[in-house]
Amino acid sequence: MAINITMPRLSDTMEQGTVVKWHVNAGDTVSSGDVIADIETDKATMELESFDDGVVASLAIGEGQKINVGETIIILAEDGESVEDAMKSVGVSGSAAASAGGSDTPVPQTAPQTPSATAVAEPPATSNSSGNSSNNEDRVFASPLARKIAREHNLPIGSITGSGPSGRILKKDVEMMIGGPAVNAPTAPVASTAATAAPMPAPLPAPLPAPGAALESKTVALNTMRQIIATKLVESKTTIPHYQVTMSARMDSLNNLRGELNEQLAAQGVKLSVNDFIVRACAIAMHQHPFINSSWNPDSGQSSPSIQLHGHVNIGVAVSLPEEKGGGLVVATINNADQIGLRQISSETKRLAAKARDKGLAPAELTGSTFTISNLGMFGVEHFTAIINPPNAAILAVGRAIDKPFIEYDADGEAELVIGSEMSMTISSDHRIIDGAMAAAYLKTVKELLESPASLLV
């Protein structure tokens, strides 16, 4: 039987991987432990070792190509098996395989690509890769004790690199990630923005310190989440040309509508937040401004840079995690936010925020956003700017709505002073994709939707 080696899941959050470089060609003999390819994940470029012995029958994809976790990347003929037999046993004709191997033809990109080819969030996990090969790609090997400690620290086991036999994660590996018993590591990574999210009560003012109380000087080891936040945001801020555009929206109509809806829906246990309306407005505005809902495909060496417009609108909502969970933040993803109503957005946001703070989100709930919203309004913030959450092209920083004096004109053209509610929104955009006018146009659409909120209902 031929040996099918599939794209391994090299990190907890990995859904796709790119073969950056092949170390073998068709016809080469491969032994267990040989490095066969460099695989780029969402976090790092790692060496992939073969877990089996055999002869390379076919490279299923070319260098620079990205495929989903679990799909075949290379087929090996077992000892004594001819290449033709190996190909037959996996249902591929020999000539087809030969043409696929080493092909220079870029495959159409169907998903966002990460901007960096060499992000190093973790050391190259060669041992981990062997533990995840072939039909075991979903299984993370860890000792029962390592799992127990990771669970107690709310640390996703898949984010840890194992040093034991077959890449098994051991106690010492988890302890290294925790950085000592005092530091609690929080939920899953894939964090990004400089902010926090919607349904969280504003914190109580801190009590005054006792007279003479001194701050403690100490070094705090980074937990996984903090490491990933640091790596991703430095990468984002240093490689993406950010600029900001701010616009304000009158919130009086929305506030009235929201009050009315919540009053009518209270019996059903539904309570819409301002943030739910913002998510909805941002999502449906994408239909007029598809470039806001896109990703930058970098130069892969095989194909020149391009812009990926997404066929779905997944809105990421930054959720801060409580101190006792180790702090940090995650981006919870509300999928197809343009296709679902306010009520679903509301319940999904509440569910994800509660789950993120309680026990952590699953990888699928953390990845795949196409646009991110960060809302610090509940902390009294009026205006701020956020850092783009790759591979998004833009992020919206939302402040609190405040009452202000406005001059309005009545039907006779008479000016009058009225009190209105106004909310500031600041979009940070990737100038490689979005020009200033495009950002302004998008914000104008969002503003109009928020100011005529009936359109968000239908």
Residue with tokens 């070094």, as numbered in its chain? 219
User: What is d(CA 74, CA 267) in angstroms, rounded to the nearest whole number?
Assistant: 57
Distance of closest approach, residue 145 Cβ to other proteins, in angstroms: 4
**# residues contacting other proteins (CB under 8 A):** 11
Site for other proteins in 143-162 (CB under 8 A): 143-148
Which one, 146 or 245, has the nearer CB to other proteins? 146
Which one, 146 or 394, has the nearer CB to other proteins? 146
Tokens for 284, please give them.
């449906």
CB atoms within 10 A of CB 149: 22
Residues labelled as active-site residues: 431
CB 368 within 8 A of CB 390: no
Which one, 21 or 171, has the nearer CB to other proteins? 171
User: What is d(CA 388, CA 430) in angstroms, rounded to the nearest whole number?
Assistant: 8
Of all helices (H) and strands (E), which one includes residue 406? strand 394-409
Which one, 27 or 165, has the nearer CB to other proteins? 165
* 417, amino acid identity: L
Name 85's Cβ contacts closer than 8 Å, sequence gap at least 6. 2, 77
CB 197 within 8 A of CB 369: no
Distance of closest approach, residue 159 Cβ to other proteins, in angstroms: 19
Which one, 147 or 343, has the nearer CB to other proteins? 147
Site for other proteins in 161-200 (CB under 8 A): 163-165, 170-171
Distance of closest approach, residue 163 Cβ to other proteins, in angstroms: 8
Window 287-326: contact mask with other proteins (x via CB under 8 A): ----------------------------------------
Tokens for 325, please give them.
């969970």
11-19, 87-95, 138-146, 443-451 -> range binding other proteins (CB under 8 A): 138-146
12-20, 142-150, 357-365, 377-385 -> range binding other proteins (CB under 8 A): 142-150
Distance of closest approach, residue 139 Cβ to other proteins, in angstroms: 16
User: What is d(CA 14, CA 323) in angstroms, rounded to the nearest whole number?
Assistant: 27
10-18, 114-122, 129-137, 141-149 -> range binding other proteins (CB under 8 A): 141-149
Window 84-123: contact mask with other proteins (x via CB under 8 A): ----------------------------------------
CB 341 within 8 A of CB 242: no
Beta bridge partner(s), residue 319: 330
Beta strands in 23-112 (DSSP E): 29-30, 35-40, 45-49, 54-59, 66-68, 72-77
Distance of closest approach, residue 170 Cβ to other proteins, in angstroms: 5
Which one, 167 or 390, has the nearer CB to other proteins? 167
User: What is d(CA 133, CA 247) in angstroms, rounded to the nearest whole number?
Assistant: 50
Using alpha carbons, select from 309, 254, 266 the residue that is nearest to residue 286: 309
Distance of closest approach, residue 156 Cβ to other proteins, in angstroms: 17
Binding site for other proteins (CB under 8 A): 143-148, 163-165, 170-171
